[in-house]
Amino acid sequence: MKIMKLLQFGILIIVSVAISNCTNSHTANRDYTALVNPFIGTEGSGNTFMGPVLPYGMVQLGPYLKYSDNHESGTIFGFSHTHTSGMAGGGNGVRGNILFMPIVEHDQVSPDDKNVYQSTFSHSDEAASPGYYKVILDDYNIIAELTSTTRTGFHKYTFPETDKGAIILKLGKGSLSMNDNELSGHGNGVYFVAKFSKPVNSFEFSNDVEIAKGLKTIEGENVIGKFRFKTNKEDAILLKVGISMVSVEGARNNLDKELPGWGFDQIRKNERDAWNKELSKIEVEGGTETEQVIFYTALYHSMIHPNIFMDVDKKFHNESGEIYTATDFDNYTNFSLWDTFRALHPLYTIINRERTSHFIRSFLERYDHNGRMLIMEFNGVEGEQPPMIRYHSLSVLADAYVKGIRDYDVPKAYEAMKNLANDLDRKGKQLYLDYGFIPSDLKGQTVSRTLEYSYDDWCVTRLAKDFNDEDLLYYSQRGDFYKNLLSTDVNFMRGRKSNFQFVADFDPMETTGHYTEANAYQYSTFAPQDVEGMIEMMGGDKVFEDWLDACFTTQTDFSKINVRDVTGLIGQYAHGNEPSHHIAYLYN
């Protein structure tokens, strides 16, 4: 049974990739942003973000919200300048730093009631495209529009006629100051400077302890600012906000350099142009318009993260809080590498080679100042035990190296790879080296950990073959450790105990503790470093093709799937989670 027939792919799309940064005359006038629907994936567990963000921008400006159960409406709590997209726990209700909310004050509302600064809305009153978001706040009859630059957010709030218009700023733990028409401070580690287009009539600050009228500075827990305006009908108040992870001065400089004026429509156009430049790197023909929308929306989502993590003067902080200047590279963060090493970073080596080099230089910066390359970093912080398993910056680096992306310190990169591969702080790593696998009676998720450790160790060989023959042999042997868990009597990767016996009562459909967010079907073919060797061990091409057919056609028993991430099932293949994503291509 062939995979194309099995999955009933009836679409022919021809893809052309522009390796250079320029576009040809055929694509120069095409509006690729018209083929992007930012709402795709924003409901349920889609975890995607729909607000304005420049490609890989530091600011992701958008609604901080909660959908209602019927998905026709929801509640907006404000518009914040940081979100995550795509990665686990991402979407429009995550992070939420420096959050503004326009309101019309009601007489019946107590001024210290901090839960009223929200509004219902209808999806029919929402609009979004790359670089732009618009919604009507039903509770206040306010139209909110948003656009952004790399490090600034630009808000446009159109009020009804009222003398009770106000804009709320929610900071969480932080500090807030008012000087003339400029706000500044920090909230939950993010610094900001903000300016209004109209003078503020009056303002007040509060925290969990006090309401401070007349004071120009406040700090503490749950810091809130309220800024009042008198507005005529359809009166628009513009608000521009610069953020920084370094200092208030950095945020002010970012705002002055990137958003000196008040031309909302021009900034929106600039952002649309920037997205067209990025999206034009891949041109598709064929298929329906809906299929092209799906393609370009996916491409758009692939370019939201990682994010620039430095000010316009190239200053940034590392995990310990020290301030550095990126002299010869652009510093990035939000590397969800367990998710992205499989397909996203290989895509970048084709359409974003220069940026890939900057990603690797960011890895090496962490090696210089934090002692190891990245494993899985968010917002500049990784911690001693990052989430998920493995150390896949080795895969990103090795892939770039073999594709000729080498404009960084290659000898340092090689040493950094070995440093991380030999880091015994990784869970089960010493057991893995002692046994050639991680025994299931001594550690959890042993099959997945062994397979991913083995692949990452093999990645070192891609540089070792040009540096050191002894290293090449050593890491090649570790790259074969996957074979120690392939139980050829059942042709599955299977848990193995410290007495070298495979676990009994084996059921490949069960999402047991031997696997990470998966069952044996979804992890048993993870040996990307040696696909041919794996196929030979499993009995050759015909046996392996039959195994793949069974993977896609064996009916799912949902009583055996107890992990919420295992979704989008086609037989046992889980299209909704990472460990399955390579399986269809093994038919090749």
**Quick one: three-class SS letters along 52-95?**
CCCCCCCCCCEEEEEECCCCCEEEEEEEECCCECCCCCCECCCC
395-426 tens-digit pLDDT: 999 999 999 999 999 999 999 999 999 998 88
* Region 315-339 average pLDDT: 93
* Region 477-496 average pLDDT: 97
* Residue pointed to by tokens 């009916």: 555
* Region 493-522 average pLDDT: 94
DSSP 8-state secondary structure symbol assigned to residue 153: E
pLDDT value for 558: 86
DSSP assignment of 443-468: SSSHHHHHHHHHHHHHHHHHHHTTT-
With bands split at pLDDT 50, 70 and 90, how would you rate the model's confidence at 324? very high
Which residues fall within 8 angstroms of residue 387, CB to CB, at 6 or more apart? 88, 338, 376
* Region 489-499 average pLDDT: 96
Of 305, 307, 309, nearest in space to 339 by CA: 305
Q: Alpha-carbon distance 193 to 172, whole Å?
A: 16
Length of the chain, please? 588
DSSP 8-state secondary structure symbol assigned to residue 389: S
Please check the confidence at residue 25 and state whether its pLDDT lies above 50: no
pLDDT value for 139: 94
376-400 tens-digit pLDDT: 999 898 877 788 888 999 999 999 9
Name 185's bridge partners.
176, 192
Pairing mode, strands 573-574 and 569-570: antiparallel
Please check the confidence at residue 24 and state whether its pLDDT lies above 60: no
pLDDT value for 88: 56
Please check the confidence at residue 344 and state whether its pLDDT lies above 60: yes
With bands split at pLDDT 50, 70 and 90, how would you rate the model's confidence at 12? low
Residues 165/141, Cβ–Cβ less than 8 Å: no
3-state DSSP assignment of residue 563: coil
Taking the complete model, does pTM exceed 0.85, yes or no? yes
With bands split at pLDDT 50, 70 and 90, how would you rate the model's confidence at 90? low
How much of the chain, in percent, has pLDDT values that exceed 70? 91
Q: Alpha-carbon distance 51 to 64, whole Å?
A: 10
For residue 180, give the amino acid letter: D
Q: Alpha-carbon distance 457 to 446, whole Å?
A: 16
202-222 tens-digit pLDDT: 999 998 877 877 778 999 999
Q: What is the mean pLDDT of the chain?
A: 90
Residues 417/394, Cβ–Cβ less than 8 Å: yes
Neighbours of 330 (CB within 10 A): 18
For residue 361, give the amino acid letter: R
DSSP assignment of 184-219: EEEETTEEEEEEESS--SEEEEE-SS-EEES-SEEE
* b/e sequence 386-406, b meaning 16+ C-beta within 10 Å: bebbbbbbbbbbbbbbeeebe
Residues 320/332, Cβ–Cβ less than 8 Å: no
Judged by average pLDDT, the poorest of 35-49, 165-179, 448-462, 547-561 is 35-49
* Region 423-452 average pLDDT: 94
Please check the confidence at residue 178 and state whether its pLDDT lies above 90: yes
Q: Alpha-carbon distance 308 to 334, whole Å?
A: 9
The two structure tokens encoding residue 531: 């696909």
Neighbours of 354 (CB within 10 A): 11
Of 431, 459, 448, nearest in space to 485 by CA: 448
Q: Alpha-carbon distance 507 to 368, whole Å?
A: 45
Residue of 382 and 573 predicted with greater confidence: 573
Residues 65/74, Cβ–Cβ less than 8 Å: yes
The two structure tokens encoding residue 180: 């003339």
3-state DSSP assignment of residue 586: helix
Domains and CATH numbers, the chain: 32-275 (2.70.98.10)
Q: Alpha-carbon distance 274 to 269, whole Å?
A: 9
240-295 tens-digit pLDDT: 999 999 999 999 999 999 999 999 999 999 999 999 999 999 999 999 999 999 99
* Region 30-48 average pLDDT: 87
Residues 552/572, Cβ–Cβ less than 8 Å: yes
